[in-house]
Amino acid sequence: MPEGAATRTRLDLVADCSRCLALCCVALPFERSAEFGLTKAGGTPCPNLDDGLGCSIHARLRPAGFAGCATYDCLGAGQHLTQVTFTGRDWRTDPTTAGPMFAALPVMTQLHEMLWYLTEVLDLAAARPVHAEVRSAVAHVEHLTDLGAEELLTVDLPEQRSLVGELLSRASSLARAHPRDGTDPSPVRSCPDLRGADLVGATFPEADLRRADLRGALLVGADLRGADLRGADLLGTDLRGAELAGADLRETLFLTGTQLDAAHGDSTTLLPQDRTRPRHW
């Protein structure tokens, strides 16, 4: 990866639908399920999309059966494609851009996701030993996001995920060994290793999962009420339907708004300072 300094901040990785062209509502396919109220092919506008490219049921997505839409977050990929890659061109008035733009969205979204996690590492003082490598990785991924539409489709995403994942794993080990904000004063201990575990429907009420490695674990519908998850690595953890009432999620690593939106918490759930409590909680 080339050397370079990080040039973007978390604000650049926040979705701004006003600067996008409803790409997620058009480009992405979905099937009727508990997450989506109907089946839609990729490249086809969602029937709930209004003439102004706004969602006509946005205020009631969950009760209308579109929880998947409520939890989706492109992390700024949509506006980057619209404003940078395609320089503001509109797929409605310039149909030649539609196919390339829609095809590039999943690629750009994955690159922005990598940037989101990498920039979090730069905020972890305990991960300072890998900061130089992370800055270089950020510069490289930023370069990829600025490629043209055709070049984006040639990006080797598995290779990029592997390179970034290795850095995130090292940063996680450092950060979990050294809690960052003092909310967990207990001495360093053996951290539960539950990476990739199938814990669907598991019961962990008031469990001690401090600094656990839960990366990629399936916690769909799991009972985590009152669990202590301070310092746990939640990168890619599937929390759909998980019960988080009273759980302590402070200091958690790589926790996204999408994960929180997919779970069930309440006013007693403790969150990291930079995470917003979902409205439906």
For the segment 250-279, what is each residue's pLDDT rounded down to a tens digit? Answer: 999 999 999 999 999 999 999 998 899 999
Q: Tens digits of per-residue pLDDT, 105-158?
A: 999 999 999 999 999 999 999 999 999 999 999 999 999 999 999 999 999 999
Q: Per-residue confidence at 41, pLDDT binned at 50, 70, 90?
A: very high
Spatial separation of the C-alpha atoms in residues 236 and 44, rounded to whole Å: 28
Q: Per-residue confidence at 9, pLDDT binned at 50, 70, 90?
A: low
Helix (H, G, I), strand (E, B) or coil at 142: helix
Give me the mean pLDDT over the 70-82 stretch. 96
Q: Is the dihedral of CA 117, 122, 126, 130 positive or negative?
A: positive
CA 51 to chain centre: 29
CATH architecture under which domain 181-281 falls:
3 Solenoid (2.160)
Q: Is 241 within 8 Å of 261 (Cβ atoms)?
A: no
Spatial separation of the C-alpha atoms in residues 244 and 10, rounded to whole Å: 25
Model confidence at 190: pLDDT above 80? no
In the chain, what are the domain boundaries? 10-176, 181-281
Q: Per-residue confidence at 7, pLDDT binned at 50, 70, 90?
A: low
User: Which long-range contacts link 60-67 to residues 24+ away (Cβ below 8 Å)?
Assistant: 62/280, 64/37, 65/36, 65/37, 66/35, 66/36, 66/37, 67/34, 67/35, 67/262
Give me the mean pLDDT over the 177-191 stretch. 62
Residue 251 burial (C-beta neighbours within 10 Å; 0-12, 13-18, 19+):
buried
Percent helix, strand, coil in the chain (nearest 5)? 40, 5, 55
Say what the pLDDT of residue 72 is: 95
Q: Tens digits of per-residue pLDDT, 210-247?
A: 999 999 999 999 999 999 999 999 999 999 999 999 99
Q: Per-residue confidence at 183, pLDDT binned at 50, 70, 90?
A: low
Model confidence at 182: pLDDT above 60? no
In the DSSP assignment, the letter for residue 226 is T
Give me the mean pLDDT over the 173-201 stretch. 77
Model confidence at 4: pLDDT above 50? no
Of 219, 103, 89, which Cα lies nearest the Cα of 155?
A: 103
